[in-house]
């Protein structure tokens, strides 16, 4: 496998629209895909943390991948999350993704037993060997309890099947250390997870960002990316401020680990894109939290 697929740009981690019975909301999904693509994004990432992948039924995950790949029909590359504690389930999902036409898969470390670095090294090599698609590493220590250490990333980058790193740690020292260590490898893409740092990351040379807010505002993030690539600092600063405003208004409502996903889904629902149901056992925002999101979308000029 040559590393021909190079991920760049804005690759939104798509939420998974669910109907009130927690089945796939096919109509909402279809609207969401077009809504996102209309913003000019450079790819689509299914079944990440924002997509609530680990909490979805396998049948639903497969249905989602098939539908989105069919609908996207090659307009942008589709990346599919295959993070799992069961090794063979990751492989099965990757086989499915390939059959559906996805371009690459993404895997965070197994998340029950926290692996040591030698175990992570062995795990990712073994996984990349078994996969039919190129693999993105996904660093997500807050959920999986372990960070893929910089030397581990560097060693894995040499594997022909491993093509990049999505870092959602928010740890800027870690992110920049990975970028520095791999700066001479144009085939290895490093993507910034938190949208709150996407502008500066791309300005400094990162390949792009996996911005959850691009579910709602895809064009904003594409504009931000393009300004950063063009080294137009003033525009980057201005657009990043808009991103921070969205972040401060929408993502902090509610409590607990999943308030980001709840906020994005609630906003999409108020914008008429798709419903706000979450994977079991989580519940959508209650009426008062929902009303707060509504008011803040008005403040942002998105609703009236």
What is the contact mask toward a second copy in residues 205 to 244, using x (rule: CB under 8 A)? x-------------------------x-xx-xx--xx--x
Nearer to a second copy, 75 or 231 (CB): 231
| CA distance linking residue 62 with residue 301, whole number of Å | 36
Residues in 269-298 at the binding interface with a second copy, rule: CB under 8 A: 279-283
Given candidates 37, 63, 66, 89, which one binds a second copy under the rule CB under 8 A?
Answer: 89
Least separation, in Å, of the C-beta of 184 and a second copy? Answer: 11
Number of C-alpha atoms within 13 angstroms, CB side, residue 44? 33
**Locus of tokens 């950063």:** 228
Q: Is residue 299 involved in binding a second copy (CB under 8 A)?
A: no
Q: Are 31 and 63 in contact (CB under 8 A)?
A: no
Nearest to 163 by CA among 191, 196, 130, 140: 191
Q: What is the CA radius of gyration of the chain?
A: 18
Whichever of 10 and 91 has its CB closer to a second copy, that residue is 91
CB of 98 to a second copy, least distance (A): 20
Judged by DSSP in three states, 139 sits in strand
∠ CA 127-92-19, nearest 5°, is 120
Separation CA 92–CA 4 (nearest Å): 23
How far apart are CB 77 and a second copy at their closest, in Å? 25
The contact set with a second copy (CB under 8 A) reads 49, 52, 54-58, 85-89, 110-116, 118-119, 122-123, 126-127, 143-145, 170-177, 180-181, 183, 194, 196-197, 199-201, 203-205, 231, 233-234, 236-237, 240-241, 244-245, 247-248, 255-258, 279-283
């Amino acid at each position: 496998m040559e590393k021909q697929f190079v991920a760049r740009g804005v690759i939104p981690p798509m939420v998974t629209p669910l109907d009130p019975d927690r089945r796939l909301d096919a109509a909402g999904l279809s609207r969401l895909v077009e809504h996102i693509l209309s913003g000019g994004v450079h790819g689509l990432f299914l079944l990440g943390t924002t997509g609530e992948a680990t909490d979805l039924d396998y049948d639903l995950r497969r249905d989602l991948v098939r539908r989105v790949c069919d609908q996207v029909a090659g307009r942008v590359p589709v990346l599919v999350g295959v993070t799992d504690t069961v090794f063979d389930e990751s492989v099965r999902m990757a086989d499915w993704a390939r059959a559906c036409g996805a371009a690459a898969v993404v895997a965070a470390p197994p998340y029950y037993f926290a692996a040591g670095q030698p175990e992570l090294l062995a795990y990712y090599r073994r996984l990349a060997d078994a996969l039919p698609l190129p693999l993105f590493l996904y660093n997500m220590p807050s959920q999986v309890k372990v960070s893929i250490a910089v030397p581990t990333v560097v060693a894995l980058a040499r594997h022909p099947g491993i093509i990049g790193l999505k870092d959602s740690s928010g740890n800027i020292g870690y992110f920049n250390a990975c970028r520095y260590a791999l700066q001479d490898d144009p085939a290895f893409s490093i993507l910034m997870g938190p949208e709150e740092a996407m502008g500066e990351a791309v300005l400094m040379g990162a390949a792009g960002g996996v911005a959850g807010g691009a579910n709602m505002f895809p064009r904003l993030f594409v504009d931000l990316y393009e300004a950063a690539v063009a080294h137009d600092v003033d525009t980057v600063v201005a657009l990043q401020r808009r991103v921070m405003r969205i972040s401060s208004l929408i993502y902090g409502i509610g409590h607990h680990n999943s308030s980001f996903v709840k906020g994005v889904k609630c906003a999409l629902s108020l914008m008429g894109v798709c419903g706000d149901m979450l994977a079991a056992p989580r519940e959508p925002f209650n009426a008062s939290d929902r009303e707060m999101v509504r008011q803040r979308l008005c403040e942002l000029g998105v609703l009236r």
